[in-house]
Amino acid sequence: MIQVGIIGGTGYVGAELLRLLSNHNKVKISAVSSTSYSGKTISSIYPNFYGINEIVYGNEDEVIEKSDLIFLGLPSGLSESIVEKAVKKNKICIDMGADFRFKSETAYKKWYKKDFEIMDLHEKSVYGLPELNRKYIKEAKIIGNPGCYATSVELALLPLISGGFIEEKGIIADCKSGVTGSGRSLKEGSHFVNCNESFSAYKVANHRHTPEIEENLSSVSKKDVKLTFIPHLIPINRGILSTVYTTPKDKIDMEKLHEDYCEFYKAEPFVKVLPLGEVAKINNVRLSNYCHISLHYDEENNKLIMISCLDNMVKGSAGQGIQNMNIVLGFDEKEGLNAVPAIF
């Protein structure tokens, strides 16, 4: 059994990792840390674990010492020094925050107001989108798990960008997320009275996932990809729906494009391209590691539209982290992630 630990185990991401890892047959949860709840049991914070997992929250050094692989579920800006300690002890680290998502220090500093303090860690890290970087993830010691919105938008666009089918500028990503995307800490916008029966945009054209998406799509395109990204908060617990508008360079044959998408993702266990005429919906991927993509064309305005849906807490976060874990440890990629999406 591989010993797996979590540093920062009381946020939504940490709790979701615990839930999913509980169904994994090849790993054992060795230790979990929490600054705020040290000494308390997991079930005292999340009663759904009562009688199932009664592990006690410890400290980060305990997690590093007891674990072969470590997930870091921390706010951005806190992972570097911990990863340095862990890597020196030959541990594998999967950072669920943004600290290892970027190759460009300039972009990270602009959007996160922080420098790369330990440069060699970033040179060794791999961006953990399996559908893009699987061969590099296999050999990685440090994996930066992608952002939830970024995962949805990048999966929607990868076949088009890699094939050079669309204009690299003027892409619009209109995205909606459930309230778990804002984390466990209470914020004004996530109060029940402010989000229930409401629907609002936030961080318009100023969201931190914008440079992440642009950097990774540009690396595929070998051209400078630019997009306008507008996130919205919708009154559901979990899920992301991204509607991505693009301009094709040539006349579109939707049957051929659909074949190209199916071919591009045919070996990917968690990306499902829906038949033409169907529309991707959040409730069809809920509580699963699947991403559904549907393709649409506005012929009159020459706009190619992709709709991409995933569960922000699973494929958008903890599930993708476990998918990366499976790859780097040589397990079946679907291990622990085989759950069929919830029916309702």
> Please, are residues 99 and 80 in contact by the beta-carbon 8 Å criterion?
yes
The active-site residue, picked from 148, 175, 195, 291, is: 148
Distances (CA, A) of 112 to 76, 109, 120, 316, 323: 8, 5, 19, 20, 26
Residue type, 15: A
Core vs surface per residue 101-115: b (16+ CB within 10 A) or e:
bbbeeebbeebbeee
- Tokens representing 182? 């804002």
| Active site annotation includes 93 | no
Provide the annotated active-site residues. 148
